Structure 1
Amino acid sequence: MNSRVTMVLAGLLLVGAVIAGYWGLSLSQPPQVTEVVVAEPEEPAPAEPLLDLSALPLVGEDEPERVPVVVLAKAVPAMATISAEDLLVEELRVAPPGSFAESQALVGRVVWRDLPAGTVLNESSFETGGPLARMIRPEERALAIQVDEVISGGGHIQPGDYVDVLLFLRDDDRNSDRTVQVVIPALRILTVGSAMGADRSGEPLMPPVAEDEKDSRANRRVEAPRTAVLAIPEALLTRFMLASEVGKLRLAVRSIDEKLLAGYQAGDKQPDKVEELNRQLFQFEKLALRQARQPQPGLAPQRPAGIPVYHGSAVARQYP
C-alpha cells in the first residue's frame, strides 16, 4: 500500500476521532436549562369617564344677575358740581341701600363734603349739615351733657350704645323725698368726646385712622371725655333739661343683645313709647318750676327798685 494513501487515511481517522470525542463529550453533560421569565400582562388603565356635557351649566344660566350702581370715578372736593366725567357705572351683585342706578340724574348736583374715588353715591352725599345732623331723625334732637368716669359707665360707653338716664334727687329744703328714677330709657349715644358714631344708615362718620396717627395717639396721654351727646325725642327734650337741672344724672348702659341699634336703623320709631314717657315726666317739670319760684337759701330777697321822687336837688325813693 502506498505510504501517501496511508498518511491520508490516518489523517482522516484522526479528524474523525476528534469529532467523535467532542460529540461524545457534549452528549455526556446534562442539558442547560434556560430560565424564561414570562412577563405578566399589565392591567389596562381605567378608562376616563366621558364628560357629561348635559351636567354643565350653560353660559350665564347660574350667574347671579348684576345691577348698575353709580360710583365716583375720581375724588371730588367739597362744594364741587358733579359732571359726567366724575361718574362711573359699575355692575355689582347687590346694590348698596340708597344708591343710584343711572348717572344722568346726578349730573349738576353739588356735593357738600370731600368724597374719595370709588364712593357709592346716595342722597346723603348731597345733604348739608354737620355729622350730628346726619345721625338723627327729624323727630329727634342731639343734646350734649357733661359726663365723667362715674356718670359714663366708668368711661367705657361708646357711640352706638344705648343707655338709661337715671336721675338722683337729694332730700333738702326744697325736696323732701330722696329718690332715684329712670328719666328716659334707651337713649342712643351719638358721640363721646371726639369719638363719633354712625349716621342713620349705619355708615361710620369717623374717617379711618392712619397708622402713623395711631402711633402718635398711643403716645399721647389719654384723657377721659367730658361730654356725651344723646339722641333725645323732641317731645321729651324740655322735660329732660328740667330733670337734669333738679338732680344728678347717671347713664346705665343697656345690653347689646337687645338689638336696639339694629332696630333703629331698620326704622323702628315707637311713637307710643314716647307718649308714655311724656306723661311720666310731668313730675320733673313741676319740681323744677317749684324750685325756680323758691328763693335760694342764704340770699336776702331783692327789694324793688322803687320810684324816684325829686325835691329840688334832693332825690328820694318811695317804695309801694
Structure 2
Amino acid sequence: MTHLNLTKIAAGALIAVALLLGLYAWALSRHTAPPAPVVKRATPEAAFPVVVATRLLPAGAPIAGDGLRVVMLPMRPSGAFSDASLVTQRVPLSDIGANVPVLEAQLSSGFAEQVAPGERAVAVHIDEASAVGNRIRPGNFVDVFFTLKRDGASVGPNAEITRSQTRLLLSRVRVLAFGNTASGAGNPARYGVGVHTAVLAVPTADVDRLGLADSAGHVLLALRNPRDPEALEPAARERAAAVVHSSSRVGRGDGTEASVQAETGVSLSELSAGTAPVRTIARPGPRPIRSVAGIEVIRAGQMQASAN
C-alpha cells in the first residue's frame, strides 16, 4: 500500500514538472530574441571639387586664371563651380574675398555677357513693317537703314534736313534681342507679338549715329543671310561721299559697290524723277579770236580780213 502511494506521488510530481516546463517554454516563445548588434564601419567623408579665389577678386574686373584654384570641400555650395575654366574672364558683381567659393550669383551673367568688347547694346524703335514683318529673331544679322523726312516748316538754307532721303547707316549688325525675347530664351511662337523695340550690338563709335537716326528719323532693319560676310567698312564711307546720287544705281558686281551706293542713299526728288541720271555733255567753247592786222569784214556769218 505504501509502495502504491509513493508511485502516485512520483507521478504527480512528474506531471507538475512537465507543466512547469511547458509554461516556461510558452513564456519563452512570447519574447523575440534581441537583434544582434550592428557593427558600424567607418566610411570615408565625401568631398566635392569647388572653385575658390586665391586672392581678393575686385568687382568689375575680369577674373584671371591665376586668381582661382580648386579645393575639395565636404559639401558643394549652391551655384559653385567645379572647373576653373568656367569662371575665367567672368566679371564679379561685388568683391570676392580670398579662399571664398566663387558662386554664379556673384558673377555678371545673362544679357550683358552677349555684348562683345568694343560693342554696345542699343535699342531702336521698330514696327512690323520696319522689322521684316516681325520675322527677325535674336542672333540674326541685319543692315540698318534710316529715313529722314524734310520738315515743311523748316525750309531754307538753315534747315537741318533739306530733302527727304534714305541711307544705309550700319551693315551686318547682330540682333541681341527682339521685343522682350533675348537670344536662346522665350517662346519662338510669340517673338513677333507686341514688339516695339529691337536691341542691336553696335560698335561704340556708331552709337551716336544710330541714336540720332532713331530719334530724328525712321529706322528700317533689313534681314541678311548670316553667311554673307560683306559689310560696309569705315573707309568706304569716305568713298560714298564722292558717289553722285542717281535714281538709276547699278552695282558693279563686287558687292562693295552696292554697299557704298546704299550708304550714299537716295533722295525723294531723285526717286520721284524716275529717269536716268542726267549726263553733262561737253559743249565746244567759243572759238578764239585771232588778231589779224588790217580790217575784219564779216559776210554771211564768215569773217574775212582785208589788208590796210
TM-score above 0.5, yes or no: no
Which structure's CA Rg is the greater one?
Answer: 1
Q: TM-score range by the shorter chain?
A: 0.3 to 0.5
Provide the TM-score with structure 1 as the length reference. 0.39
